[in-house]
């Protein structure tokens, strides 16, 4: 379905805000100027601003205008806010924080998956591995297959709070794998490593599944730092 005009305007403004085109504390254009820029009605602009207010990006003050709120007030776990970060130029500190979250949760999710995975869960993990193998020569399709593997792992942990982290994990993957796996020739090694994790889960070996996942993520973090010129 095509997003409504207000959603489209909110998306464009949201992307510019997270990309830093509007600094926190800065006033954005008034309603009339935005309506003219996007060729929409003032009602559409008003609804778009309400969307961004709800996500913590904007604050509307009568007599002052519409101001960008500080980053620490943004609802960063909102799917749209995460998606807007993905489409913006990668910010090292933001990606590093996403990877911190992954490292904190995913190894434990792999352990729980080894203990709790159903036959259906294992099938989803195996199919994700096969898809990674099939798509290893195509960067974008491989990234999606990689993300589906980690999504399946979270679901196999059977923890509702971890399932709620899917948006964060998926966003981190889309950004980080695009940076670290720019050369499709290196994807074969990644496929083998993911299959090792799957096999540990299938055997019910929680220790191994957790260790392998932590190793996988630390390797990704190392390669990200190298790409950003920080190999510490």
Residue 123 lies in a domain: yes
Residue 232 lies in a domain: no
Element (H, E) at 65: strand 65-68
Nearest Cα to Cα of residue 94 among 181, 15, 172, 179: 172
Calculate ∠ Cα 195-200-202, nearest 5°.
90
pLDDT of the residue at 170: 77
pLDDT of the residue at 202: 98
pLDDT of the residue at 120: 98
Q: Distance of CA 184 to CAs 12, 170, 217, Å?
A: 31, 20, 19
pLDDT of the residue at 232: 46
Residue 85 lies in a domain: no
Residues 148 and 219 in one domain: yes
Name residues of the chain where pLDDT drops below 50.
231-232
The answer to whether the predicted template modeling score (pTM) of the entire model surpasses 0.85 is no
Question: What angle do helix axes 92-116 and 119-134 make, rounded to 10 degrees?
Answer: 130
pLDDT of the residue at 182: 62
Residue 118 lies in a domain: yes
Domain that holds residue 40: 5-73
Residues 58 and 104 in one domain: no
Residue 139 lies in a domain: yes
Residues 163 and 223 in one domain: yes
DSSP 128-197: HHHHHHHTTT-HHHHHHHHHHHHHHHHHHTT-HHHHTTHHHHHHHHHHHHHHHT-SGGGHHHHHHHHHHH
């Amino acid at each position: 379905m095509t997003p409504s005009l207000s959603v489209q305007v909110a998306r464009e403004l949201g992307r510019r805000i997270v990309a830093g085109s509007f600094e926190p504390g800065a006033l954005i254009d008034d309603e009339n100027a935005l309506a003219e820029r996007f060729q929409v009605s003032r009602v559409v602009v008003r609804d778009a601003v309400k969307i961004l207010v709800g996500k913590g990006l904007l604050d509307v003050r009568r007599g002052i205008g519409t101001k960008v709120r500080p980053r620490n007030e943004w609802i960063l776990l909102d799917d749209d806010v995460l998606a807007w970060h993905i489409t913006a130029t990668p910010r090292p500190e933001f990606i590093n924080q996403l990877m911190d979250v992954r490292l904190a949760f995913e190894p434990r999710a792999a352990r729980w998956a080894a203990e709790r995975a159903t036959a259906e869960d294992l099938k989803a993990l195996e199919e994700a591995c096969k898809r990674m193998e099939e798509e290893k020569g195509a960067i974008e399709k491989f990234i999606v297959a990689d993300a589906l593997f980690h999504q399946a792992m979270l679901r196999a942990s059977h923890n509702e709070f971890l399932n709620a982290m899917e948006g964060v994990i998926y966003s981190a993957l889309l950004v980080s794998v695009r940076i670290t796996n720019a050369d499709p020739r290196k994807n074969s090694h990644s496929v083998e490593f993911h299959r090792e994790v799957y096999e540990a889960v299938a055997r019910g070996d929680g220790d191994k599944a957790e260790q392998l996942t932590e190793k996988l993520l630390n390797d990704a973090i190392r390669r990200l730092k190298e790409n950003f010129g920080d190999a510490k």
